[in-house]
Chains A and B, each alone.
Chain A
């Protein structure tokens, strides 16, 4: 399990972990055993905690209730419950998602999806929170101006996976690269440009905060990065039948593109550089095995 694989890194960051579902302790015990899970899986058998948190999936109950044929209910069931309609088994489940809490128990960030088939990976959540994850399948490179490491948050993905490709960039000493906002001054802003692929959709690239650099010869102020930084390209594997059918025929998915940037120091501005990058990800089939204890 992906979260179990990241447990050590999360613990090292001082973060405690637990997962809540409506399963019985017996079902959870078997699941933990089968998947080698050591963090607490909590049994909210009557869904009371899920309900108190306000994230009970009420559409699941509507989908098996008196209004199940209401077109609005039907549409919501397809979005929030299941493409195959609701079932009694789904009643009592939450909208799946993750809360990050600070040491006082306040929500510091939350990761929930509007479409039931889309899920954030734990590694993606960690990257977004700035918790370092040890890169898997990393591409390392360097130029005369910088070093970079590009890696996917997850080495395997499936239908609906929300993951990301991270690029850690370390400009060489005295060197800076251009941040969003610098394009107006005629500089090439650093960017990860991935080619269109119909099986996935790309979210806008996330950039960290930049700093303002004063370039005296031109008396201009430009947003730049000169300390190590990370840009994140979040990607969602589309969850529809076409993708599912295509994926069943494939073992891997390759996303290709390039890292573009322009680097300068106090004296010299180098030409914009384009470095081709390609990431091959394993395609997983979801785990459909069920516990033998009910």
Chain B
């Protein structure tokens, strides 16, 4: 009998422990955002692309580049 009680205590403790662990794991599964660390960093090559502009002309990294380089802006929206 005594052994049985101890067993159930142990197993509920174990379950509680697992619960705590999994909650912690859930919380940690969201890595903190740091925009500065996202995307190509200084010295990195950026991916090429092929996108239509406002006139329907397809543009690539090469087609927009100037002789000294490129200023590439990312905007949330031109519409709001």
Q: A15-B71, A43-B52, A100-B71 are in contact. Are A49 and B47 (CB under 8 A)?
A: yes
Measured CB to CB, the closest approach of chain B to A24, in angstroms, equals: 9
* CB contact between A95 and one of B46, B68, B74, B77 (< 8 Å): that residue: B74
B21-61: CB near A (< 8 Å → 1, else 0) gives 00000010010011110111111111111011111110101
Interface size on A, residues (CB 8 A): 71
| Chain B: number of interface residues, binned into ranges | 35 or more
Q: A43-B52, A43-B53 are in contact. Are A95 and B38 (CB under 8 A)?
A: yes
A57-93: CB near B (< 8 Å → 1, else 0) gives 1110010000100101100100110000000011001
| A42 close to B (CB within 8 Å) | yes
| B2 close to A (CB within 8 Å) | no
Cross-chain contact A20 with B77 (CB below 8 angstroms): no
Q: For A22, what are the chain B residues with a Cβ–Cβ distance below 8 Å?
A: 77
In chain A, what residue has the closest Cβ to B78? A31
Q: For A15, what are the chain B residues with a Cβ–Cβ distance below 8 Å?
A: 66, 68-71
Cross-chain contact A44 with B51 (CB below 8 angstroms): yes
In chain B, what residue has the closest Cβ to A55? B39
Question: Interface on B for A, CB 8 Å cutoff?
Answer: 27, 30, 33-36, 38-49, 51-57, 59, 61, 64-80
